[in-house]
């Protein structure tokens, strides 16, 4: 292990259940995607420990919900402060297990912590309602209450922020949680639990189990005690989880895959669109759910934009190990991911796409895929139909606004979309016509804790962050008071 942390005790390799660190004979290797070396072995939990975690969360729920909103807010705020105090160590851990460059890892720690700060504030603003009565002898009051024990299942691409985005609103609302982080990136989850413990968040409120999804998943989905499942991950797994949750009619929030179009209209500010595209396409080496997947360029600026993009990539982006400060793009998470990107590119090339930059020629390491630009792409090719999840920009062309909207919407998912134009009428027309949950207009970076994040169609349901983000963790209770005029 070559991780050098200011506080080595932040590196936890046990599960966290009911305030206890639980070890096991069975372990799971955590691999550095750059070197391919095992950086830690984490205790693997199974069905029995997951059930224990659910029971711990159930027991803690009554005490946690009984705290005042201000008390919960203070504990969340203390947790946020500790995360920011240890930001550098958390970023080092994240880069080691996930591969993203350190500057992005630091950004993720701060971005994820911002959700805790935000929901610490929102905890105090869970307001109810009084509603005009239907008859003189009645009054209608609505209160909001926590849903109960929440299961959180998260992916490897943002192993810290995807978890805080769920735990923070859940705890602010008064819920307790059982979390299953992705097997590739458990360390970023466990360090959050360590800091929550140091912040004084009581035992059982946050529980983290690491292990096989086929053992842990069914315990979470089938348990009648778990009243809500919040999931971030692939659409394929999301559908299975929704089906499994139907048995107990749990509430679900699904943050699933995308196929983001990035539309460059003829009147766009091209240098600004290039900036937006570099950020939205190549961040985390293309492994974000809101990453641009298809670049739709008006035919009149297609060649010029393509050349500007290739020049910008060559001059500004550097592929390599995430901990190297000169590097802007790290490896993909594992060789399976790399092979999947290569297969999508190769099949699209067979169908007529042209490699204008990159392609399958890199030799930095097993998990690296080169920064790639494909031209002559059509919406039927695999790189356009499927979520590539790699550093490949696929360039399509269009001739009219209607055609751009039609191509953009011609997909079964709808998470993020981007477009660049200087025409205010077009801003409204296109913004309203795109079937997506998040729209970046002349902007490539759209996610922050103050705005609602989530998709439509098969990109899922529910919203994370913003004033709406708490709703998914609350039930509305309507109380009708009668006999008022007696
Ligand atoms: P994934 O394969 O769906 O895995 C996500 C999580 O689900 C992991 O913790 C995984 O555990 C677990 N899991 C897998 N199969 C399961 C099952 N049958 N039952 C219970 N849990 C199960 O997704 P991924 O490859 O890690 O992440 C990439 C996907 O996430 C992309 O599609 C991306 O677009 C999406 N994503 C969406 C958002 C959003 O906010 N909309 C944000 C980030 C990522 P194991 O690791 O143990 O298999």
What's the burial of 387, exposed, middle or buried (CB within 10 Å: 0-12/13-18/19+)?
A: buried
- Ligand 1 center–CA 157 separation, angstroms: 9
> Which helix (H) or strand (E) covers residue 158, if one does?
none
**Residue 289 is a catalytic residue:** yes
SS3 68: coil
Ligand 1 closest atom vs CA 158: 43
Is residue 358 within 8 Å of residue 388, measured between CB atoms? no
> Which helix (H) or strand (E) covers residue 227, if one does?
strand 226-232
Ligand 1 closest atom vs CA 255: 41
The two tokens of residue 400 are: 């009219």
Is residue 99 within 8 Å of residue 365, measured between CB atoms? no
Local confidence pLDDT in tens for the 486 residues of the chain: 468 899 999 999 999 999 999 999 999 999 999 999 999 999 999 999 999 999 999 999 999 999 999 999 999 999 999 999 999 999 999 999 999 999 999 999 999 999 999 999 999 999 999 999 999 999 999 999 999 999 999 999 999 999 999 999 999 999 999 999 999 999 999 999 999 999 999 999 999 999 999 999 999 999 999 999 999 999 999 999 999 999 999 999 999 999 999 999 999 999 999 999 999 999 999 999 999 999 999 999 999 999 999 999 999 999 999 989 999 999 999 999 999 999 999 999 999 999 999 986 667 888 999 999 999 999 999 999 999 999 999 999 999 999 999 999 999 999 999 999 999 999 999 999 999 999 999 999 999 999 999 999 999 999 999 999 999 999 999 999 999 986
Q: What pLDDT is attached to residue 305?
A: 98
- Ligand 1 center–CA 213 separation, angstroms: 10
pLDDT in tens, 330-351: 999 999 999 999 999 999 999 9
pLDDT in tens, 219-238: 999 999 999 999 999 999 99
Name the closest-CA residue to atom 39, ligand 1.
255
List residues bridging with 180 in a β-sheet.
153
Residue with tokens 């069905």: 47
Ligand 1 closest atom vs CA 240: 18
278's CB contacts (< 8 A; 6+ apart) are 312, 313, 316, 317, 444
> Which helix (H) or strand (E) covers residue 47, if one does?
helix 47-66
What's the burial of 394, exposed, middle or buried (CB within 10 Å: 0-12/13-18/19+)?
A: buried
- Ligand 1 center–CA 237 separation, angstroms: 7
Per annotation, catalytic residue among 152, 179, 245, 289: 289
- Ligand 1 center–CA 234 separation, angstroms: 5
**Residue 108 is a catalytic residue:** no
238's CB contacts (< 8 A; 6+ apart) are 231, 254, 256, 460
Residue among 483, 485, 486, 481 at smallest CA distance from 131: 481
Q: What pLDDT is attached to residue 361?
A: 62
Ligand 1 closest atom vs CA 459: 41
- Ligand 1 center–CA 311 separation, angstroms: 34
Q: What pLDDT is attached to residue 101?
A: 96
- Ligand 1 center–CA 232 separation, angstroms: 6
The CA distance from 398 to 386, in Å, is: 20
- Ligand 1 center–CA 214 separation, angstroms: 13
Helical axes 161-173 vs 187-199, angle rounded to 10°:
40
Ligand 1 closest atom vs CA 289: 34
pTM of the complete model: 0.97
Q: What pLDDT is attached to residue 363?
A: 72
Is residue 52 within 8 Å of residue 46, measured between CB atoms? no
Ligand 1 mutation target, pool 213, 244, 291, most atoms within 8 A of CB: 213
Pocket of ligand 1 from Cβ distances under 6 Å: 153-158, 162, 180, 182-183, 213, 217, 232-234, 237, 240-241, 255-258, 289, 387, 415, 455
Q: What pLDDT is attached to residue 359?
A: 86
Name the closest-CA residue to atom 35, ligand 1.
233
Is residue 288 within 8 Å of residue 158, measured between CB atoms? yes
Ligand 1 closest atom vs CA 464: 40
Name the closest-CA residue to atom 22, ligand 1.
213
Q: What pLDDT is attached to residue 403?
A: 98
Is residue 286 within 8 Å of residue 388, measured between CB atoms? yes
What does pLDDT average to over the chain? 97
236's CB contacts (< 8 A; 6+ apart) are none
Is residue 244 within 8 Å of residue 217, measured between CB atoms? yes
Residue 23's CB: how many other CB atoms inside 10 A?
A: 12
Q: CA-based diameter of the chain, in Å? A: 84
Handedness of CA 185, 187, 188, 193 (dihedral sign): positive
Name the closest-CA residue to atom 30, ligand 1.
233
SS3 316: helix
List residues bridging with 464 in a β-sheet.
453
Per annotation, catalytic residue among 255, 387, 401, 464: 255
């Amino acid at each position: 292990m070559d991780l050098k942390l200011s506080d080595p005790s932040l590196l936890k390799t046990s599960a966290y259940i009911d305030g206890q660190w639980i070890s096991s004979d069975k372990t799971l290797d955590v691999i550095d995607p750059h070197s391919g070396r095992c950086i830690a072995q984490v205790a693997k939990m199974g069905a029995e420990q997951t059930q224990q975690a659910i029971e711990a969360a159930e027991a803690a729920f009554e005490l946690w919900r009984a705290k005042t909103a201000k008390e919960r807010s203070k504990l969340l705020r203390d947790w946020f402060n500790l995360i920011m105090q240890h930001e550098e160590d958390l970023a080092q851990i994240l880069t080691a297990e996930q591969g993203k460059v350190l500057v992005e890892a630091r950004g993720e720690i701060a971005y994820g912590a911002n959700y805790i700060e935000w929901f610490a504030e929102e905890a105090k603003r869970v307001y109810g309602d009084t509603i005009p009565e239907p008859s003189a002898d009645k009054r209608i009051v609505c209160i909001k209450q926590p849903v109960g024990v929440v299961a959180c299942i998260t992916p490897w691409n943002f192993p810290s922020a995807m978890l805080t985005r769920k735990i923070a609103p859940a705890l602010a609302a008064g819920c307790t949680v059982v979390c299953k982080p992705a097997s590739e990136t458990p360390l970023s989850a466990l360090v959050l639990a360590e800091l929550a413990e140091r912040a004084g968040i009581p035992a059982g409120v946050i529980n983290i189990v690491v292990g096989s999804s086929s053992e842990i998943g069914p315990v979470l989905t089938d348990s009648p005690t778990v009243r809500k499942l919040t999931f971030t991950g692939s659409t394929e797994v999301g559908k299975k989880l929704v089906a499994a949750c139907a048995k107990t009619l749990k509430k679900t929030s699904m943050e699933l895959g995308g196929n983001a179009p990035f539309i460059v209209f003829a009147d766009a500010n091209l240098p600004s669109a290039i900036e937006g595209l570099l950020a939205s396409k190549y961040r985390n080496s293309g492994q974000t759910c809101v990453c641009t997947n298809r670049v739709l360029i008006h035919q009149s600026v297609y060649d010029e934009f393509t050349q500007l993009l290739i020049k910008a990539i060559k001059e500004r982006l550097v592929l390599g190990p995430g901990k190297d400060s000169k590097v802007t793009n790290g490896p993909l998470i594992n060789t399976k991911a790399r092979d999947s990107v290569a297969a999508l590119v190769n099949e699209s090339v067979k169908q007529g796409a042209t490699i204008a930059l990159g392609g399958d020629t890199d030799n930095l390491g097993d998990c690296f895929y080169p920064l790639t630009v494909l031209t002559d792409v059509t919406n039927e090719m695999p790189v356009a139909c499927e979520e590539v999840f790699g550093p490949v920009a696929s360039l399509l062309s269009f001739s009219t606004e209607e055609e751009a909207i039609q191509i953009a919407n011609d997909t079964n998912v709808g998470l993020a979309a981007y477009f660049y134009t200087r025409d205010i009428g077009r801003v409204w027309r296109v913004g309203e016509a795109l079937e997506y949950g998040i729209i970046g207009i002349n902007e490539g970076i759209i996610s922050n804790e103050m705005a609602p994040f989530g998709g439509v169609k098969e990109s899922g349901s529910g919203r994370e962050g913003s004033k709406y983000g708490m709703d998914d963790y609350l039930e509305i209770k309507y109380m009708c008071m009668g006999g008022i005029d007696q």
